[in-house]
Amino acid sequence: MSTLTPDLVLPSLAGLVRPRSPLWTPQQLRDLVTRVGSAHGDDLLARVRFASPQRWWARLALTEEVELWLLSWLPGQRTEPHDHGGASGAFTVLLGELSETYRHPRGPVRHREHASGSAIGFGPGRAHQVWNTGPANAATVHAYSPPLVPTREYATLYDIPDDIPPLPPRRSLAELSREPVEP
């Protein structure tokens, strides 16, 4: 089963998120966001909205194995330090540049810059904080597997536990499919 967000449907997106079993690896997620960015970047940038004070986001696709999101970042917008509840993830930068500080349990805090066109995949045992430190707007495509897993926030990256345990999904795909879609 898969669903696509009605206002952001792109004709060939469904083929890119077809079911895989059991879950997507970080490399497969990285390949997915790279393909989506390459094939649909112009269409997505035409649809992205930049909002303040909170960042804007829209789900592009959801299957039993993966969810795909489009996010915008005004200069200065950021996430809190967080993990992805045991899900693997990936993102690619469509526009602008982002800074990322990240840490694996029991590891050092590290920093990376992500320029337009770059992509990264990461496993479930990673926490990070992402922000737009540049002077221009930024936009990204993110993918997570398993889908619908909540994030867990921390005061700092030094507060992540020695092991990042998986969290249960917030809802099932079947529950989401029964909800009415707002125009």
pTM of the shown model: 0.88
Please give the Cα distance from 97 to 94 (Å, whole number).
9
What's the half-sphere exposure (Cβ side, CA atoms, 13 Å) at 82? 15
Tens of pLDDT along 58-115? 989 888 889 999 999 999 999 999 999 999 999 999 999 999 999 999 999 999 999 9
Domain ranges (residues) in the chain: 22-162
Task: Give the residue-averaged pLDDT of 8-32.
Answer: 79
Q: Which helix (H) or strand (E) holds 44?
A: helix 26-47
Please give the Cα distance from 52 to 50 (Å, whole number).
7
CATH superfamily, region 22-162: Jelly Rolls (2.60.120.10)
The confidence score (pLDDT) of residue 2 equals 46
Mean pLDDT, the chain, as a whole number?
A: 88
Tens of pLDDT along 133-153? 999 999 999 999 999 899 999
The confidence score (pLDDT) of residue 36 equals 95
